[in-house]
Every structure is written in C-alpha cells, then in structure tokens.
C-alpha cells in the first residue's frame, strides 16, 4: 500500500487529556448510556460480562439495533444486563431520545459523538470516560 504523500497526524496522551477535559462537563452521571453509534453484539456481550453479579446504583442503558438485541436475548446478555439494573434499548439513539423529559440531567458516555451532541440536543451535562470508569461510578 502506497503511503507517500499522506499527512501523518500523531495523537498522544496530551491530546486525549485535552479532549476529555473539553467534553467532560460534570463528574457524576444520573445515567450511563452506551451505544452511540449503536452497540454491536460484542459490545453488548462485553457489557454483560462486566455487569454480571453486580447491582447498579444508577441505570445504564445500551442502545443497539433490534437484530442485535434479539441476538443478545438469545445469548442471555439482556437478562444479565437487566438483572444488574440496566436496559438494552433497540432502534433509537440517546441523542434523539427525550432523556431530559425523563428527568435526567447528566449522562455518562464513552462516545465522543454523544459527548459532543448531548449538551445541545438534549440539554445534558456529560461525564465522558471509558466503559470501565463509567461502570465503576455506578456499580455497588
């Protein structure tokens, strides 16, 4: 594959830290919502594994397509997530859902897309971290 003439952009820890600082507008989420864009079956499976045997102090949702939710149900992942206090939501995206009308004011996300759009579209504060950090803020 020919790569000469292509611009190289390096991203280091400093740039990552600046992005997290810019997108984080709060410290404690009312809810964590994953799946922006929609979660894959692997992401749902990973979440189920992280939540197995845990009880969440606050809700966590993972958004996906109907087909992925049905596959996750057959594999027992939806039951695991729901047993911990979470939900698998099909065929919608947090950015276009009426979460502010549901009483939420601060959403935890692992998606830069969601972190960018939630403040404007849904009037939400944002807690932007990786999945493990977000779950750590919710699990008991």
Nearest Cα to Cα of residue 92 among 102, 106, 84? 102
pLDDT, tens digit (0-9, with 9 covering 90-100), for 71-124 = 999 999 999 999 999 999 999 888 888 899 999 999 999 999 999 999 999 999
Domains annotated for the chain, with CATH where assigned, are: 26-136 (3.30.499.10)
Q: Are 72 and 64 in contact (CB under 8 A)?
A: yes
pTM for this prediction = 0.88
């Amino acid at each position: 594959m020919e790569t000469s003439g292509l611009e190289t952009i390096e991203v280091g820890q400093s740039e990552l830290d600046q992005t997290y600082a810019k997108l984080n507008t709060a410290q404690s989420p009312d809810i964590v919502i994953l799946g922006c864009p929609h979660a894959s079956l692997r992401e749902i499976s990973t979440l189920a594994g992280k939540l197995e045997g845990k009880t969440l102090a606050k809700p966590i949702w993972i958004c996906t397509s109907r087909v992925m939710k049905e596959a996750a149900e057959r594999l027992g992942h939806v039951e695991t997530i729901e047993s911990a206090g979470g939900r698998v939501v099909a065929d919608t995206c947090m950015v276009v859902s009426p979460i502010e009308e549901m009483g939420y004011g601060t959403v935890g996300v692992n998606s830069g897309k969601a972190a960018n759009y939630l403040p404007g579209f849904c009037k939400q504060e944002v807690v932007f971290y990786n999945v493990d950090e977000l779950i750590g803020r919710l699990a008991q």
